[in-house]
Structure 1
Amino acid sequence: MAFAEPTPAPVRAEIEMILNRLEASTCWFQRNGAWHDGARAKAHLLRKLEYIEKKGTVQSAEQFIELAASRSSLSGRPYQVRCGRDAPVPTRQWLSEQLNTVRASSRGTPP
């Protein structure tokens, strides 16, 4: 039986940063028709990360977003994020924007 390598620390740090941003936001996360606050969203997505880590190594934050944070594994329905009165956007888009912001700030450049 082969075991997956752990997610590289820099990748895990980026994933945790974008999930922390979701948790700290006033945005809501929709999965399978129900809306959840950022803390519940983060907890759910971390469980999904742990599940996919058992199957293989997560090579990038983008891969995490695609494999775990874009859609329901059960229904196949896309996840969404709604902030304030703005229209919901796909979670893939929202998290990708957060990732770009995190990366830009670590380089000291504006997003």
Structure 2
Amino acid sequence: MPRLLTLILLLALSTPSLAGSNPEREIQQLIDFVAASGCVFHRNGSDYSAEAAAEHLQLKYRRGRKYADTAEHFIDRLASASSFSGKPYTVTCAGETQTASQWLHRELLDQRGSPQS
């Protein structure tokens, strides 16, 4: 009986709905996604590589962790706009430019295994 309970518990914890319940892990996955994206980030009138953008987001997360208790809050409060100018961040991937907010929210849904709207 204990083996069955352990197996059920392991299966439950590995489902996508529960796998996404760790905000720190989700946020780090988003930052890793940014770093590996190969996209160009536009912040306050300057362009940055994906790696530089990821480093910037990591810094913002370290400094503003208390404002990002969920991955959604990280995106909305730290990763979408400049805290200095208030201007939204944009990202260009494969010639298509969109807001960082849209791009990161879509990626979060993908990571969670949710259908996109």
TM-score with structure 1 setting the length: 0.79
1:73 aligns to 2:56 (yes or no): no
Q: CA RMSD in A?
A: 1.7
* Paired letter, 1:38: A
CA shift at 1:110, angstroms? 6.4
CA shift at 1:85, angstroms? 1.4
Specify the alignment match of 1:42 in structure 2: 54
State the number of aligned residues. Answer: 96
CA shift at 1:58, angstroms? 2.5
Q: What residue ranges of structure 1 are gaps of 5+ in the alignment?
A: 1-8
Residues 50-61 of structure 1 mapped to structure 2, 5 A cutoff? 50-53=62-65, 56=66, 58-61=68-71
CA shift at 1:57, angstroms? 5.6
1:16 aligns to 2:16 (yes or no): no
Matched-pair identity in %: 34
Higher relative contact order (CA 8 A, sep 6+): 1
Q: Post-superposition, which runs of at least 4 consecutive aligned residues in structure 1 deviate over 3 A?
A: none
TM-score with structure 2 setting the length: 0.76
* Paired letter, 1:61: A
* Paired letter, 1:97: R
Specify the alignment match of 2:38 in structure 1: 26
Return the index of the structure with the highest Cα Rg.
2
The question of whether the paired residues in 2 share the 8 Å contact of 1:26 and 1:84 is answered with: no
1:98 aligns to 2:110 (yes or no): no
Q: What residue ranges of structure 2 are gaps of 5+ in the alignment?
A: 1-20
The question of whether the paired residues in 1 share the 8 Å contact of 2:67 and 2:74 is answered with: no
